[in-house]
A and B are shown apart, each in its own frame.
Chain A
Amino acid sequence: MTTFIIRRLLSAVVTFFLITLISFVVIQLPPGDVVSNWVRQQEASTGQPLPPETIENLRRTYGFDEPIIVQYFKWIDGFPSGDFGFSIEYSNAPVSEILAQRTGLTIFLGVATLFISWGLAIPFGIYAATHKNSHWDYLLSTLSFIGISTPNFLVAVIYLFIAVFVLKTDYSGGLFSQEFKNAPWTWERLLDFAKHLPIPLAILGLGGMAGTFRIMRANLLDILDQQFIEAARAKGLKERIVIYKHATRIAINPLISRVGMQLPFLISGTIIISIVLDLPTLGPPFIRALNRQDMFLAGTVLMILAFTLLVGNLLADIVLAWSDPRIQYD
């Protein structure tokens, strides 16, 4: 088990370096470098050209006068001390400062969504599989088919429509009321947060549910066809025990390994829904940075997202190894 984890960790480290490399390439992709973009914006806003020494100075600080490869190493060299570069869009604030709290909220939303979508999808999947070809099975399967076909942003827009027109809520986006937006964590802020949470969570959770439901149903149908299920029935076990203890337990294992495939969609969904609902996650600064070619910020967000995915996959592998005795560790 330990060697298995160590090997996975080592492979993850290699992947992480490749991720930083691609993120860096993305930062470099737009024409012109970060400094010249910044200079252009400064000059546009003040109406005066910046003194060439200032520009030179900036270039030297961030190493833009050096070869690309050196720039890359300078960039990743700052990571251990929390330096991911600076942001033009957020008045030169360090990227780490802008993203710290938002990263936490993004991960929180992602994990909460995962649990909500599983909590709903698994029971529905069990019901549909054990009542195969019933009306409810057809209904659930059709709905889930539409569900996996519906893009997240459309789901967000549709749910907002429902929230406003059908449920008549006064939810207008965000995770905090105006007065708590930048306040430190207090009980009142937490309460306010909890009040804002249900609608974004429902949107995200229902979006992720459809796929999980379909896999759960298919898995369980596969398992129910297996010999050991018949053997369990032949022992005289109650149908309920056969289904929950013998079949469901195994049908859930592939779901764990699928977390890895589900996470990117979850992250993509969180990002796009955050943009629509203006949630204080990594989504809004990401799109803002992309629109203004604020590339250190954009590249760092991209990297954080990929890193989250990497860690998520790693955790899923470990949980699976722990839950399924058949996994070989060597």
Chain B
Amino acid sequence: MEAVSPATVDWDEMTDTILEVENLKTYFFIEQGIVRAVDGVSFTLQAGKTLGIVGESGCGKSVTSRTIMRLLSPSLARIVDGSILYYPVKGEPIDLAQLDPFGEQIRDIRGNEIAMIFQEPMTSLNPVYSVGHQIMEAILLHQEVTKEEARKQAVEMLRLVGIPLPEQRVDQYPHQFSGGMRQRAMIAMALSCNPRILIADEPTTALDVTIEAQILDLIQQIQADSEMALIMITHDLNVIGEVADHVIVMYLGQVVESAPVDEIFDAPKHPYTQGLLNSLPMIGREERLEPITGSVPGPHERPQGCAFAPRCPHVMNRCRLEEPPSLIAGEFSTVACWLYDEQTEVVYAPG
């Protein structure tokens, strides 16, 4: 196999690419030193498709999404390398990484063309403004409509996301909504301007399982009705299995495996992906769950060589010394692991 960057892989019929992230590096410059939160992430997103980003806490999933939205404070985090190419409906692609995070250009895209929903529905809405007011705020910002029309749209959006009695609910405050309803309201807010990309950062983590299923159904249904692309960030492989078309697995700021969802579940390649799957309870599964040993190292103790080496069951000497590049592993997939390099003596064959 030869080393490549996943973005350069010639995906089949990649005509309606909407977002292309290439070798993105976001570092945090803090008192204790530099934290390489996102360290060379690449992926492409196509219209109408869903990209799942999966990994344990602290692996850079959320930072990746916030970097795309340019929501990180420039005094703390800097994009040190890479590009985020956004393909608007008309005109040349825009490199979001080059924009001023407080500038007008990114603000026109935020909320309007790329929207985001967050992990904590309890704290994602401002407690002192009514839910309707907060939805109308986004509508009035990006569309040229009157207040009355914006209000009508807000009610419609609430109806669309399945909130009962939206005419009354629109004037209520967030604390009068339950957790699931708040997340619905957040989705209504995010979708109010018909974005082309929706970034969902762990949208169901804080919710009950039954509510989780409802919210995921809602997102998929809306996606089916529009050509909206979705980036679903989660640590929960079950969620990925339900919604994603393509999956990237992240570990310590890097993409360790990138593959279509079926391949991830049927033939995972990277030992980390295998570990994640082995620790997943499934119906009909007979063998014991095997958790991955150890925990994600802290930001300052990134190991030399492969980042996963200290926890890897198949670790080789080479892994501790050299960092593996992304290797082409299939038609649409890459993996960053020495096990798949021909020079390596394979001691373990997966599957």
| Interface membership of B137, Cβ < 8 A | yes
Q: Any chain B CB within 8 A of the CB of A261? A: no
A228: interface (CB < 8 Å): yes
Closest chain-A Cβ to B40's Cβ sits at a distance in Å of: 25
Contact status A236-B175, CB under 8 Å: no
Are B138 and A236 interface neighbours, CB within 8 A? Answer: yes
> Of B107, B111, B126, which contacts A228 at CB under 8 A?
B126
Please provide the chain A residues from 184 to 243 with a CB less than 8 Å away from any CB of chain B in the complex: 226-228, 230-239
Q: Tell me if B221 counts as interface (CB < 8 A to partner A).
A: no
Q: A249-B128, A250-B128, A325-B128 in contact; A234/B123 too (CB < 8 A)? A: no
With both chains docked as a complex, state the minimum distance between the C-beta of B128 and any C-beta of chain A, in angstroms: 6
A97 at the interface (CB under 8 A from B): no
> Do A230 and B71 touch (CB < 8 A)?
yes
- A66 in contact (CB, < 8 A): no
With a cutoff of 8 Å between Cβ atoms, the chain B residues found around residue A132 in the complex are 75
Task: Return the chain B residue nearest A132 by Cβ.
Answer: B75
Give the total of A residues in contact with B, Cβ under 8 Å: 22
Q: Is the CB of B127 within 8 A of A236?
A: no
Looking at B8-16, B47-55, B112-120, the stretch in contact with chain A turns out to be B112-120
B94-120: CB near A (< 8 Å → 1, else 0) gives: 000000001000011111100110111
User: Does B141 interact with chain A (Cβ within 8 Å)?
Assistant: yes
Chain A residue at smallest Cβ distance from B126: A228
Does B306 belong to the interface (CB within 8 Å)?
no
A235 is contacted by which of B128, B138, B173 (Cβ under 8 Å)?
A: B138
**For the complex, what is the distance from the CA of A234 to the CA of B125, rounded to whole Å?**
12
Q: Is A324's CB within 8 Å of the partner chain B?
A: yes
CB distance from A241 to the nearest CB of B (A): 9
Bound CA span A290–B148, Å: 65
Which residues in chain A, 290-330, are within 8 Å of chain B measured between CB atoms?
324-326
Closest Cβ of chain A to B145, distance in Å, is: 15
Residue of A nearest to B31 (CB): A133
Cβ contact within 8 Å between A231 and B186:
yes
With A and B bound together, what is the CA distance between A217 and B349 in angstroms? 58
Q: Report yes or no: A235 in contact with B141, Cβ–Cβ below 8 A.
A: yes
Pick the contact of B141: A226, A227, A237, A324 (CB < 8 A): A237
Q: Please, how many angstroms separate the alpha-carbon atoms of A237 and B111 in the complex?
A: 9
CB distance A226 to B123 under 8 Å? Answer: yes
Q: Which B residue sits closest to A223, measured CB to CB?
A: B126
- Tally A-B pairs: CB < 8 A: 73
Counting chain B residues whose Cβ lies within 8 A of the other chain, the interface size class is: 20 to 34
Q: Are B110 and A234 in contact, CB atoms less than 8 angstroms apart? A: yes
Do residues A236 and B116 form an inter-chain contact, with CB atoms below 8 A? no
Contact A231 B112 (CB under 8 A): no
Given known pairs A234-B115, A234-B116, A236-B138, the reply for A326 and B71 (CB within 8 Å) is: no
- Complex CA distance for A324 and B125, rounded to whole angstroms: 14
Chain A CB within 8 A of B189 CB: yes
Asked whether A246 is an interface residue with its Cβ less than 8 Å from the other chain, the reply is yes
Q: Is B124 located at the chain interface by the 8 A CB criterion?
A: yes
Task: State the CA gap A226–B138 with chains docked (Å).
Answer: 19
Q: Are B110 and A231 in contact (CB under 8 A)?
A: no
Q: Are A325 and B118 in touch, CB under 8 angstroms?
A: no
On whether A250 and B118 interact (CB within 8 A), knowing A235-B110, A235-B137, the answer reads no
Q: Contact check: which of B66, B112, B126, B129 meets A236 at CB < 8 Å?
A: B112
Q: Counting CB contacts under 8 A, is B159 at the interface?
A: no
Distance in angstroms from B34 CB to nearest chain A CB is 17
A237–B142 alpha-carbon span in the complex (Å): 10
Q: B34-69 interface mask toward A, CB cutoff 8 Å, 1 = contact, 0 = none?
A: 000000000000000000000000000000001001
User: If the complex has contacts A234-B116, A236-B107, are A324 and B128 also in contact, measured as CB distance less than 8 A?
Assistant: yes
Q: How far is the CB of A224 from chain B (nearest CB, A)?
A: 9
Q: Are B110 and A233 in contact (CB under 8 A)?
A: yes
**Shortest 5 CB-CB distances between A and B: which pairs?**
A236-B111, A235-B111, A236-B110, A227-B123, A234-B116
Chain B positions within 8 Å of A, measured between CB atoms, are 66, 69, 71, 75, 102, 107-112, 115-116, 118-120, 123-129, 137-138, 141-142, 173, 175, 186, 189-190
Q: Can you list 28 pairs linking A and B with CB atoms under 8 Å apart?
A: A227-B118, A227-B123, A227-B124, A228-B123, A228-B124, A228-B126, A230-B66, A230-B71, A231-B118, A231-B124, A231-B189, A233-B69, A233-B110, A234-B69, A234-B111, A234-B116, A234-B190, A235-B137, A235-B189, A236-B111, A236-B138, A236-B141, A237-B107, A239-B102, A246-B126, A250-B126, A250-B128, A325-B128
